[in-house]
Amino acid sequence: MSTIKYKSWRGWLDIKRREFLKAAATTIVVAATPIAVTSNAQSKDSRKRKRYAMYIDVSKCYGCMACVVACAGENNVPIGGFRTWVERHVKPDGSVIFVPKQCNHCENAPCVHPCPTGATFRREDGLVLVDHDLCIGCGACVEACPYGARYMNPVTGTVDKCTFCDHRLAKGLLPACVEACPTGARVFGDLEEDGELKELVESQPVEVLKSWTGAEPMIFYKGLPKEANR
Ligand code: SF4
Ligand code: SF4
Ligand code: SF4
């Protein structure tokens, strides 16, 4: 043992850890090379970064509310609560336009830091979620959200909002609102993967709500009228 090992317990642990990893790597290469290749590929794939997002084409929305109804049914949204809503705006020329809204799963989410218990958090895949076991219903996040996307659930006494239907994503399903939309106004996907969402967001001008807040929303709109972005 060299003296370095006794400089501090942390330094000693670092050295032991390096020795262990070196020994473990040798064992894996010698004893289990074929398995190591497979499991390495799998773990690499499961660690691949995701950045979930949604695209909404306002020109395709005609305010049928199928998304709102589907969301409420899927997520047990109580009467008086909401996870998504559809705004109706009248443009100066008198035409009516519908704009679906919900939590934007902001990259720099203003609702996260004010939470005193850590109940509101941003997951690695970009979903901003609420841990209902930790939520004390103080409402700090409701106040902090510049989009009015959160509400106090009177049944659970905790804060609720859109989760991008994380329970459905885990089963490989689309969010309920996306599946229910009869016109395809809503498109969901992973911005880190080539696909329809990435193509739509990157191939044309798109807008986010209240970009000046610095929240960096992950819902991208095509054809957003200025009346809906105040
Ligand atoms: Fe938080 Fe509001 Fe952004 Fe959703 S829209 S992540 S609730 S700040
Ligand atoms: Fe509701 Fe799920 Fe759509 Fe969010 S993604 S608005 S929770 S249906
Ligand atoms: Fe608009 Fe589609 Fe929702 Fe109907 S289901 S209100 S068309 S986004």
User: Is the Cβ atom of 58 under 6 angstroms away from ligand 3?
Assistant: no
The per-residue pLDDT for 47 is 57
Q: Say which residues have a Cβ less than 8 Å from residue 77's Cβ, sequence separation at least 6.
A: 71, 83, 160
Distance CA 230, CA 219 (A): 16
Taking the centre of ligand 2 as the mean of its atom positions, its distance from the CA of residue 58, in whole angstroms, is: 17
Distance 114 CA to ligand 1 centre (A): 12
> What is the DSSP code string of 83-99?
SEEEEEEE-TTS-EEEE
Closest residue by CA, ligand 1 atom 4: 103
Segments of the chain with pLDDT less than 50: 1-44
CATH number for the domain running over 51-228? 3.30.70.20
Atom of ligand 1 nearest to the CA of 102: 5
CA dihedral sign, ordered 172, 173, 178, 184? positive
Ligand 3 nearest atom to the CA of residue 64, by list position:
4
Ligand 2: which residue has its CA nearest to atom 7? Answer: 162
Q: Can you give the pTM of this predicted structure?
A: 0.81
Residue 211 one-letter amino acid: S
Residues 131-145 have pLDDT tens digits of 999 999 999 999 999
What is the Cα Rg of the chain in Å? 23
CB of 71 closer than 6 A to ligand 3? no
Delimit the domains of the chain by residue range: 9-46, 51-228
pLDDT in tens, 188-211: 999 999 999 999 999 999 999 999
Phi, psi of 196 (to 5 degrees): -60, -45
- Which pLDDT belongs to residue 80? 93
Give Cα 47 distance to the centre of its chain: 16
Helix axes 33-46, 9-31, angle to 10 degrees: 120
Are 112 and 121 spatial neighbours (Cβ–Cβ below 8 Å)?
yes
Q: Please tell me the number of the ligand nearest to residue 159's CA.
A: 1
For ligand 2, residues with CB inside 6 Å are 71, 74-75, 83-84, 102, 162-165, 175-177
Task: Give, for 33, the enclosing helix (H) or strand (E).
Answer: helix 33-46
